[in-house]
Structure 1
């Protein structure tokens, strides 16, 4: 927490600092254990809609001249003259390729790059209009507890199904997904019910009296290395990778993508790799 306060001060980010009593006064619908300290960003902070983010990035790419092929890449092979990307509808021949496939990257390339893919479970809770109104103004939260219960919690958000859901995640243990088959099996499994139950208990501690209409369990995954840095850089003259998100790629994706394309073009100055 002291690091967060220092970073905010160094970067000139406006934050409001609260002790447990101040948090209770500022956010009366939330519950905080004694001794809690919090930083609240009242401006330029919040949550990201993955659907809108991907749509916006796709439109930006098309405006810049990109051709979008909305199919999974099934395999990549490199030759002396170029790179072949295999899809269900045929091969795509390119001069160079940037592989930014998250947890699928290593299996797509057929080689280990020193990162581990972990299963993750998120839980979503449908709220009625009264609860949505009661929690109006609720911030996005990243919680850190003394016993390793460190969930992220999003405020009530209206989803494409027309319902308002409150989402949180935070797995107590790391379960590695060691192959593409493991990844596919995990997403077909629907996620971990015990993890979701633990998340629900944590949510009820932090929002006392929360009235839940329905719970959904959502499987997810993330990719971790040993340094805390993503892997951004060339594997060969024609294949470059950008992956290894540690669960942070959505909010950083514009900049990570820029660094990946710099690496693809050979502009390696300032590009970090792990």
Structure 2
């Protein structure tokens, strides 16, 4: 190591929602800490066909709410949502729209009751239950069946722009001294000394005392873990359908909440009309169909690059959207692909592999709303080299695949 080489206290690998949040919190919680964030930025249209690593934040809308059927996810979401306005103020970037979020289920079902009970436990009071008549009076353009319930979380709920959230977190991190490196990490190497070597695709090498991996569904595809270890999770291929609507339609549906539908045959989530970078407004539906597990890096890369995937499913999913929005008249319909990391426990992993190497991953499709707090949790852990959070460590224990 040359004298002039920078030695970072922490290198965060993965520049998505959690990695960017972790880098920010490392800089803010320990102001003298030297931090770098290494990961590829969002690819341009020209770069898309050459890219091997993709992230889940290339989007304008992910639903967020402080209510959840799982108490831990509810807690993490609450803590994150409380930070949204501070993130906006510090970065100058708008990330959050508080339009509310509704859980749609059959009246009396267990999941709705558990969600209400968790709301009481976490001090959430801004919610109300509507039947089909009540919904028609409040939001006449939405439809549910008479025996269904529309459980509406009215405050601290809506949608966040993951693309803007990443930009905001990185802007704040950079303002606090974090070096952001646009590169792909292909190997993390233990020097058997006081440092770890982080090797990048470009040939660049980064030296750090500790490394935090925030590499999502791509975590097992490069040489990032010691020995032959592989994290026990399923990298799942998913896609969404986006229905283009007019600006007039978007304005007339400006009070539409996000929706999580737990109805057999219609399992999905729906977001209200959102303006995308192409200047058009889209109503998005996702979660209806999770594709098989990605078999390897080539399979995952092909999934992201090929726009022709699952065109046959588009009409089926669009019909679900039209069921809830009978007045929907799409101008155009398009699909978009993504990937999630589904753990064996149903909870994210946040753990130290050694005193110098930490991992946070496995957000199971629930991470956008909670990413700021997950990043804070991971930052506290890797800064100390061991667990340092007020929720029990065993909930987030990392599992490895058996050899």
When normalised by structure 1's length, the TM-score is 0.93
Q: Give the equivalent residue in structure 2 for 1:6.
A: 117
Within a 5 Å distance, the mapping from 1:147-162 to structure 2 comes to: 147=265, 149-162=266-279
Q: How many residues align?
A: 273
- Larger mean CA deviation between 74-83 and 29-38 belongs to 74-83
Provide the rounded CA distance (Å) in 1 between the counterparts of 2:142 and 2:132. Answer: 11
Within a 5 Å distance, the mapping from 1:230-241 to structure 2 comes to: 230-241=348-359
Tell me, yes or no, if structure 1 residue 222 matches structure 2 residue 345.
no
Q: Give the equivalent residue in structure 1 for 2:151.
A: 39
Tell me, yes or no, if structure 1 residue 260 matches structure 2 residue 373.
no
Does the 8 Å contact 1:192/1:219 carry over to 2? Answer: no
Query: Residues 218, 136 of structure 1: CA spacing in aligned structure 2 closer, same or farther, 3 A cutoff?
Result: same
Does the 8 Å contact 1:116/1:178 carry over to 2? Answer: no
SS at match of 2:158: coil
Provide the rounded CA distance (Å) in 1 between the counterparts of 2:362 and 2:313. Answer: 23
Q: Which has the higher contact order (CA 8 A, sep 6+)?
A: 2
| Contiguous gaps of at least 5 residues in structure 2 | 1-111, 398-403
Tell me, yes or no, if structure 1 residue 99 matches structure 2 residue 218.
no
Does the 8 Å contact 2:220/2:230 carry over to 1? Answer: yes
Deviating runs (4+, > 4 A) in structure 1? none
Per-residue deviation at 1:173?
4.2
Tell me, yes or no, if structure 1 residue 177 matches structure 2 residue 294.
yes
Provide the rounded CA distance (Å) in 2 between the counterparts of 1:106 and 1:28. Answer: 47
Q: Give the equivalent residue in structure 2 for 1:26.
A: 138
Per-residue deviation at 1:146?
2.5
Does the 8 Å contact 1:231/1:243 carry over to 2? Answer: yes
Q: Give the equivalent residue in structure 2 for 1:67.
A: 179
Computed over aligned residues only, the root mean square deviation of the Cα atoms, in angstroms, reads 1.7
- Larger mean CA deviation between 122-131 and 241-250 belongs to 122-131
SS at match of 2:289: coil
- 1:111-166 Cα shifts (integer Å, max 9, x gaps): 4211011000011111112322332211111111033x221111001112111111
